[in-house]
Amino acid sequence: QSKQKGLDTPHFFDPQMQASVRARVALEEDIRAGITMSEFVLYFQPQFNGQQLIGAEVLLRWRHGSGFVSPDKFITTAEQSNLILPLGNWVLSQACKQLAEWAKRPETAHLTLSVNVSPKQFKHDQFVDIVLQAITSSGAPANRLVIELTEGVLLENIENAIERMTQLRAYGVSFSLDDFGTGYSSLSYLQRLPLTEVKIDRSFLHDIDSNASGASIVRTIVSLGHSMGLKVVAEGIESQTQIDYLKTCDCFLWQGYFIGEPQPIESLEKLLVQTN
Ligand code: C2E
Ligand code: MG
Ligand code: MG
Ligand code: MG
């Protein structure tokens, strides 16, 4: 009986919860200020096809206080507070400007950029228009833009997702399924989506080194993706062993700290000169 007592206590008197609400509101304010003060910057993690640099994933960084705050610390709050909308639009338009720059030079014209899009962005009524606006106002080649989505948002309303993706695909935009293998969706569902690519979640890559079943899971995911006609990117590559193994799986699309860390645009462009 006495154990039940706590249940009657109104939530707003819970000091711990109050503290976390305060912390979230403070973080929201900081993000808002960060947007106006241009504290957000884009990093670019190289993607390779074998030895060749083929593009990069765009990763948001926040230059705040004394150092960089990683997305894991602020994306969730940005998502909950809708601040992801202005932030996400900014990422998209910056990425498109970069693609437009690259398109002007033959040495860089082939490079692609993959942009992470959060569920709230994707579900927004204006999503298709926002992407098209970023493309047209920058003059970016649409067929160099890849949008990364996660499973949850695609399956929440699959008909709607198919429609949005199909509209953008008509302009040449492609779609990648991020963190592939961590969700619970059935393959028949995924097959309905107009995807061009899947990215094997890095937890599976990690397992290549640690156990035999991890290795066979990676092999299975790669062949599954290929049999669905998709490109398969391995992300989170941290060792030569993983690369050697991926080659035996016929997977040559690579991303990870071992071959290239997320970096400012200037160093990515230097890397391009070195690898060509
Ligand atoms: P993600 O899209 O799965 O991105 C890959 C994450 O793995 C990045 O973390 C990257 O730095 C990290 N990574 C890359 N190679 C390795 C490796 O070899 N080992 C390990 N352990 N990690 C590696 P990051 O940059 O901290 O981003 C975390 C997540 O935040 C991203 O996961 C993505 O979901 C989200 N995110 C990042 N930028 C944006 C953005 O502009 N918009 C939205 N909506 N989400 C973003
Ligand atoms: Mg991603
Ligand atoms: Mg991922
Ligand atoms: Mg992720």
77 within ligand 1 shell (Cβ under 6 A): no
176 within ligand 1 shell (Cβ under 6 A): no
Mutation test of ligand 1: which of 43, 59, 209 has the most ligand atoms closer than 8 Å to its C-beta? 59
> pLDDT tens digits for 132-160?
999 999 999 999 999 999 998 998 899 99
DSSP state letter for 259: T
**How many residues make up the chain in this entry?**
276
78 within ligand 1 shell (Cβ under 6 A): no
> Are the C-beta atoms of residues 95 and 114 closer than 8 Å to each other?
no
256 within ligand 1 shell (Cβ under 6 A): yes
> pLDDT tens digits for 44-58?
999 999 999 999 999
User: For ligand 1, atom 30, which residue shows the shortest CA distance?
Assistant: 71
Residue 13 confidence (pLDDT): 64
Q: Please tell me the distance between residue 93's alpha carbon and the centre of ligand 1 in angstroms.
A: 19
97 token code pair: 């400007």
> pLDDT tens digits for 254-272?
999 999 999 999 999 999 8
- Nearest Cα neighbor of 33 from 9, 65, 2 is 65
> Are the C-beta atoms of residues 215 and 251 closer than 8 Å to each other?
no
260 within ligand 1 shell (Cβ under 6 A): no
93 token code pair: 């338009």
Q: Please tell me the distance between residue 94's alpha carbon and the centre of ligand 3 in angstroms.
A: 20
Q: Please tell me the distance between residue 80's alpha carbon and the centre of ligand 1 in angstroms.
A: 19
Residue 1 confidence (pLDDT): 43
Average of per-residue pLDDT values in the chain? 91
Residue 157 confidence (pLDDT): 92
> Are the C-beta atoms of residues 251 and 222 closer than 8 Å to each other?
yes
Query: Closest ligand to 205 CA?
Result: 1
Q: Which atom of ligand 1 is nearest to the CA of 117?
A: 44
Q: Please tell me the distance between residue 116's alpha carbon and the centre of ligand 1 in angstroms.
A: 9
45 within ligand 1 shell (Cβ under 6 A): yes
Mutation test of ligand 1: which of 79, 116, 124 has the most ligand atoms closer than 8 Å to its C-beta? 116
> pLDDT tens digits for 215-267?
998 999 999 999 999 999 999 999 999 999 999 999 999 999 999 999 999 99
3-state secondary structure of 233: strand
Ranges of beta strands (E only) in 32-76 are 40-49, 52-64, 67-69
Q: How far apart are CA 223 and CA 242, in angstroms?
A: 16
When comparing pLDDT for 186 and 64, which is higher? 64
Residue 171 confidence (pLDDT): 98
60 within ligand 1 shell (Cβ under 6 A): yes
> Are the C-beta atoms of residues 140 and 101 closer than 8 Å to each other?
no
Q: How far is CA 83 from the centre of its chain?
A: 17
Q: How far apart are CA 121 and CA 107, in angstroms?
A: 32
Dihedral sign of CA atoms 184, 220, 209, 261 in order: negative
- Strand-pairing partners, residue 255, are 235
Query: Closest ligand to 236 CA?
Result: 1
Q: How far apart are CA 19 and CA 265, in angstroms?
A: 38
Given a cut of 60, whether residue 199 has pLDDT beyond it is yes
197 within ligand 1 shell (Cβ under 6 A): no
Q: Please tell me the distance between residue 61's alpha carbon and the centre of ligand 1 in angstroms.
A: 10
Q: How far apart are CA 53 and CA 274, in angstroms?
A: 10
**Interface ipTM > 0.90:** yes
Q: Which atom of ligand 1 is nearest to the CA of 237?
A: 18
Give this prediction's pTM: 0.93
Residue 95: HSE in the Cβ half-sphere, 13 Å Cα cutoff:
32
